[in-house]
Amino acid sequence: MTAKQRSDCRVKGVNVHRVILGLLLTSWAFAGDPIPGRNRVPVGATLCVVWTVDIDEVDELTLRGKQVDAVHVKGQRPRRSTIEQLVPLPRRELGLFARFRRGRGKVEVMQDPSRANGYRAIVRVTDTKPGWAKQVVEIFYAPRPAAPPPFPVSLPEVRATTRPHFWGEQAGRVRALAAKSPEAFRWEGPVEGYAVLAVGARGLELLPSPDARAKTGKTSWGNPRFDGRYLALSVCDGPGHARVIQRMNVAGERRVLIEIRAAGACRLVGHMVPAAGVDALYPPPTELKEAWASARAAEAQGRLADAAAHWIDGAVRSARREPRLWAIEQFCRTQPYPGPELSILEKLTVKKLAAQESVAPMRGKNIVFAWPEDYLRANPTRWRFLAETDAAMEWLKRWTGKDQVRARRKRMISRFRVDKGGVALYVDFRLHIPRKEMRYPPDHGPYSHEVSHGYIGFPALSPTGRYNEGLTEVSRVAYWWFLGLDAQWQPFERRCLETLKRHYDEGGDLAGVPGYAGAAGVYLALARRFCAREDGSIDWHRFAALFRAAGPQKGFDRLAEAAERAFGPDARALIKQLRLP
């Protein structure tokens, strides 16, 4: 009787001692983790077993010399199981490798044969979808591969932070200063979701978003003076947080807006604080004194476009978080909206979009939001979101040194997709955002990647299309960092590096990195090794040297050369360690 025939008999019959052995092996095998990198069969490996099985969830195969046994682990028992042993497993320390000839789910080597385990090997097959599926698994043995060197970059810690994202969320010293100024108003009321409190010369108005519940409770009004003053909060109590958006240079907008995100009763106390007192809390760094002085002089003379240009110049140049966020705040406050008139081409594009649904273009310096009219009306802070997006785009064009948008005399145009597609698209300077992202307020998440496409295009840094998308994801991280969105960029950066590390531990090379995240992890590994600061952040100004070092030729070798020109020989060594294809 052949090994194949003996296996068929085992599956059809009942063998008590084999069942007991299977239970013991199952409980023991689950204790370990799969050995990484065993789906890539090395050249010269010997094919020893072909296993054809219809499984439901999890089944295992144990090999020891001439003995091969199927062990049911989880789900329904296999309907069919055929084991064809081509050669016995040698009684020596070897490496086992397994791959699908046909199948779905995953096949993993759980244990190599060794003297310590009696030269027994274990292979596990997991079906990740419901119902039985036919799996054909090939199992090989070869000399055991040496353990790969450890991943060359330490994974960054995701630090919980309560630091404000924007100045309008106001740190403690701003509130301390507010408490010393005359009280402007008191407000309290329940908010479930997102709402905006509009503070004007004549009183307060609560503006709930369409998907929220909110109502005004108690209000007291101190008839505040607005000229030359900032609105600051001395009290902000409740299960959530608030952000103050100072008045902007928008036609017809003469109110200060307070965004409230909460899930219950809130209480706010506001004060009008002299601007000079708040300015004194944020002195410019030495290298930015001239830019800030020029910005204030231009603003005093009513030259708001010049003032905004000086403020964003200071924000882009600032390596420190606090001065950068303060300069972004001033840029948003003085930005002379609306932006330039629509060009003929932009009017044609908007007209085409309007044929599908009613849209109202909102113009910025670098981007035009062609959003549905009802969505615009429901977002009272829409101008602030446009200002922040414009600020991030100013950062990207200076950071990368590659402004493809302006080079073609265009602005990006953003619209919501009429269909219900699940992904955002970037086509010829147009951003197509899925309907599910029509949030209150708008979120930078879906915009950051698509906007970055207008500034990323470096052949030497993008050996494949996946790497171009990965570099765009890195640009997204820098976009969030610039705006102070630590809660977004920190976990995203770690996820990209974890994706690359798993691929590396499994023996993969740079040509096979999985998805956008894996490709982004390659650039972030360079950033972590050569551009990390002591506080755990990344010096993105330093990272920009990689863009300047990029040449016109494509290829993984060109990426290694650019890394060496930007950061030195150790950078080339890092790329090689990540396994050049």
Strands 183-200 and 218-221 come out as: antiparallel
For residue 442, tell me if it sits in a domain.
Answer: no
CB 215 within 8 A of CB 354: no
- For residues 40 and 109, state if they share a domain: yes
Q: Hey, what amino acid is at 223?
A: N
Tell me how far apart the alpha carbons of residues 485 and 472 are, in angstroms, rounded to a whole number.
17
Please tell me whether residues 19 and 49 are part of one structural domain: yes
pTM: 0.82
Placement of tokens 């708001």 in the chain: 304
Compute the residue count for the chain: 581
SS3 558: helix
- Angle of helix 486-505 versus helix 515-530 axis, rounded to 10: 100
536 and 413 fall within a common domain: no
Residue 507 lies in a domain: yes
Domain shared by 300 and 313, yes or no: yes
In a 3-state reduction of DSSP, which class is residue 91?
coil
Query: In the prediction, which pLDDT does 390 show?
Result: 95
CA distance 373 to 364: 17
pLDDT-derived band at 31 (thresholds 50, 70, 90) equals very low
DSSP helix/strand/coil, 437? helix
Least confident of 59-63, 164-168, 204-208, 229-233: 164-168
Same domain, 8 and 131: yes
* Any domain includes 520: yes
Are 270 and 293 members of one domain?
Answer: no
- With respect to residue 109, please indicate whether it lies within any of the assigned structural domains: yes
* CB-neighbour burial class of residue 351 (10 A; exposed 0-12, middle 13-18, buried 19+): exposed
Question: Encoding tokens for residue 471?
Answer: 């570099």
Q: pLDDT tens digits for 474-526? A: 999 999 999 999 989 999 999 999 999 999 988 888 999 999 999 999 999 99
Residue 177 identity? L
CA–CA separation, 312 and 396 (whole Å): 12
Q: Output the 3-class SS for 469-483.
A: HHHHHHHHHHHHHHH
User: How does pLDDT run across 58-111, given as a tens digit for each residue?
Assistant: 999 999 999 999 998 988 888 888 999 999 999 999 999 999 998 888 899 999
Cα Rg for the chain, rounded, in angstroms?
30
Domain extent for 20 = 3-142
340 in the same domain as 299: no
pLDDT confidence of residue 417: 75
Instruction: Give CA separation, 309 vs 166, 312, 331, 381, 553, in Å.
Output: 19, 5, 8, 22, 35
Q: What is the SS3 assignment for 400? A: helix
Q: Does residue 16 have a pLDDT over 60?
A: no
Whether residue 415 lies inside any domain: the answer is yes
In a domain, 78, yes or no: yes
**Token code pair at residue 377:** 């009306």
Q: Within this chain, do residues 327 and 417 fall inside the same structural domain, yes or no?
A: no
Secondary structure of residue 69 in the 3-state scheme: strand
- Averaged over 8-17, what is the pLDDT? 40
> Residue 384 pLDDT > 50, yes or no?
yes
What's the 3-state SS for 178-212? HHCCCEEEEEEEEEEEEEEEEEECCEEEEEECCCC
Per-residue pLDDT, 118: 93
CA-closest candidate to residue 48, choices 88, 9, 14, 8: 88
Residue 8 pLDDT: 43
Q: Strand, coil or helix: what is 243?
A: strand
Tens-digit pLDDT profile for residues 249-307? 876 677 899 999 999 999 999 999 988 888 888 889 898 999 999 999 999 998 999 99
Pairing between β-strand 240-245 and β-strand 218-221 as defined by DSSP bridges: unpaired
One domain, residues 30 and 87: yes
> Which tokens is 509 given?
């090379």
**Does 54 lie in the same domain as 25?**
yes
Give 95's DSSP letter. E
* Helix, strand, coil % over all residues of the chain, rounded to 5: 40, 25, 35
| C-alpha closest to that of 513 among 470, 574, 553 | 470
Sequence-distant (6+) residues with CB within 8 A of 568 are: 530
The strand pairing partners of 71, in sequence order, are 60
Q: Which pLDDT score, from 0 to 100, does residue 307 have?
A: 94
Q: How remote is the C-alpha of 55 from its chain's centroid?
A: 36
- If asked whether residues 377 and 432 sit together in one domain, one would say yes
CA proximity to 494, closest of 527, 533, 448: 527
Q: Is residue 106 part of a domain?
A: yes
Residues 258, 176: one domain? yes
How confident is the model over 333-364, as pLDDT tens digits? 988 888 888 888 888 888 887 777 788 889 99
pLDDT band of residue 36 (cuts 50, 70, 90) is: confident
Work out how many domains the chain is built from and give that number. Answer: 5
